[in-house]
Structure 1
């Protein structure tokens, strides 16, 4: 009886070795890509936040030294909470009627007498925005460019909108995620919560009045002098007044829509 011995050709061995090499190399590439992606996520979600928050805190301290008036960041104390409870009523009493109007000429004169300069230097911080409920204290810079303003952890002032304390709409934008994410939790603000804006000449206190949960990124009406959504016209105002508008992206980790919070001027205090 003859026994056949299988013969393995060298070409077959080479093909098997090549397949193993390809599979091994492919696995290594997948692992490498996974590690790189993980590092990118860590950089975007952690490192950019840390770096931007550090830069923003440093800029706030620099402004405080320049003004000679250190701030007091942190959660709302009893007096702030008491103010928040009567926010709308006091806003109407001190800053105008229920639609945010200015009220008497004397009140208009007092509000206008401590306005910040009409044209702050582009991309430079010139004010500090504080939201006690969120424990937020962040610099405000002129412009809303990502590289020069928002990615530094700053809040950016929309070109063409009014300055703090001026009649009209002081409109600002901030990141909701990454790069300091100063506006991440503005969806938690409720009517009566306070938003303070400090400049070299005065401290302006606004009372949160209403929120637009979602609108188009192109809804420019929300930052008009009399802010009113052009996409959802039931949200906004119909009378001139002293307003503040906070805008950010929504849902989180996207830039598809905009979340908007509005407030009205309650009081101002010269430095």
Structure 2
């Protein structure tokens, strides 16, 4: 229960009390009901602030009213409902209540507004403001030139500094110590609960649950396996294509060049004589000036022993055996790759009638003129190698040459045939023919 406050000494009744006099205490309001019942409207007027010459100047900050609660005047004070006498220090309207004892006013608030002394409140003097002092440190991160940004860490530190005991010097020292610990700012900014939670070990059940969640499913594993197979297959195919289209040509050109140099050296030294040659043995050199082709001719048409080494093979075995260039009549048949492994016959489709084709041996130069071409035929059409080749346009025996290769490019489904007729036989002692000089 709220205790009643004694009235100030006055000639007026309680309901007509005016609070314009300095030192007057707060009165009853309609929010505080009287213990014996409500009073009429206006019986407890609100206290106005002093007006006129008695008003005290306003000082920044909270200004307390009169020091401590002021006791009301002793003696009987009639209420609006009738005289209700009571004495100072006695609880009215409630038997057995403790008497009200006013508390002494705090020391710094002596002479405050309304105390009757007319003095205003003054804050304690800062000792550093009366002498030279060190300037304030420059603004830290998150702090504006005129003060910290509201809501930032600098603003919170400023509030802590203002609430810390001591003067401005103590707050400045605390700020310097805090700035010296900026290396641990990241660790300090991390909440302690988060760090402890990160270090908290998981239970065995939780660890197993997380491990199962991280483990990929069967569909993911299968898709990864299929993807790896595709990637591996693609890489292998790329390597194979690179080997076939590039590396085989490099190696075949090197082998063919070495064989041609060896033949020419043997011919110059007289070590090799015309006769029967073994399979894979080089015995002549083919020149196609229009295509800039210079390639050795070896006995046989095997892939590994002759064609894959970048050389041209002579049909000299079984039913496909053809004549030699030195024979008085017959068809000198040759085979070569159109793609990969040196690809000596890649562009023989560009030959036109009359273009020279020269076969160089140890003793002679045999010069042929291109006569006709069969763009596409079956691989089993061996009649193109007959002494009088079928489809060449030749009608009687003679000294002919036949070049065979695969078509279309990069396949071996069909064969392309080019024929030529010998027009000159020139001994090496007379020098090179005009087809190789021009």
TM-score class, shorter-chain normalisation, is: 0.7 to 0.9
Residue 116 and residue 245 in structure 1: after superposition, are their counterparts in 2 closer, same or farther (change >3 A)?
farther
| Higher relative contact order structure (alpha carbons within 8 Å, sequence separation ≥ 6) | 1
Q: Secondary structure at the match of 1:68?
A: helix
Per-residue CA deviation, residues 202-246 of structure 1 (Å, 9 max, x unaligned), is: 1111111111111110111101111114xxxxx442200000000
Whether the aligned pair in 2 keeps the contact of 1:196 and 1:206 (CA below 8 Å) is yes
List alignment gaps of at least 5 residues for structure 1: 1-8, 70-114, 230-234
Distance 2:220 2:413 in 1: 45
Cross-structure match for 1:107: none
Task: Label 1:45 to 1:252 Cα distance change in 2 as closer, same or farther (>3 A).
Answer: same
Shift of 1:165: 3.2
Structure 1: how far apart are the matches of 2:294 and 2:387?
A: 25
After superposition, what is the alpha-carbon deviation per residue over 1:91-127, rounded to whole angstroms, capped at 9, x for unaligned? Answer: xxxxxxxxxxxxxxxxxxxxxxxx952x212111110
CA shift, 1:16, in A, is 5.2
Partner of 1:261: 418
User: C-alpha distance in 2, partners of 1:259/1:217?
Assistant: 9
What are the Cα deviations for residues 136-182 of structure 1, in whole angstroms up to 9, with x where unaligned?
00000011011111001100000120011321100000000111110
Which residue pairs with 1:161 in the alignment? 322
Whose strand proportion is higher, 1 or 2? 1
Partner of 2:217, secondary structure, is: helix
Does the Cα contact within 8 Å between 1:250 and 1:258 map onto a contact in 2?
A: yes
Map 1:218-229 to 2 at 5 A.
218-229=380-391
Q: Aligned ranges for residues 100-115 of structure 1 at < 5 Å?
A: none
Q: Does 1:128 align with 2:290?
A: no
The 5 Å alignment of 1:142-221 reads 142-159=299-316, 160-166=321-327, 167-221=329-383
Residues 1:48 and 2:248 aligned together: yes
Q: Secondary structure of the residue that 1:264 maps to in structure 2?
A: strand
Aligned length: 212
Separation in structure 2 between the aligned mates of residue 194 and residue 126 of structure 1, nearest angstrom: 20
Aligned to 2:268: 68
Distance 1:266 1:139 in 2: 21
Asked if 2 retains the 8 angstrom alpha-carbon contact of 1:207 and 1:263, the reply is yes
Distance 1:22 1:245 in 2: 56
RMSD: 2.1
Where does structure 2 lack aligned partners over 5 or more consecutive residues?
1-208, 429-438
Q: CA deviation at 1:14?
A: 8.9
- Deviation at 1:15? 8.7
Q: CA deviation at 1:19?
A: 1.9
Kindly report which structure 2 residues correspond to 1:67-86, keeping only aligned pairs within 5 A, or say none.
67-68=267-268
Q: Which has the larger radius of gyration?
A: 2
- Aligned counterparts of 1:161 and 1:51: Cα–Cα separation in 2: 29
Partner of 1:237: 394
| Cα distance in structure 1, aligned partners of 2:233 and 2:411 | 23
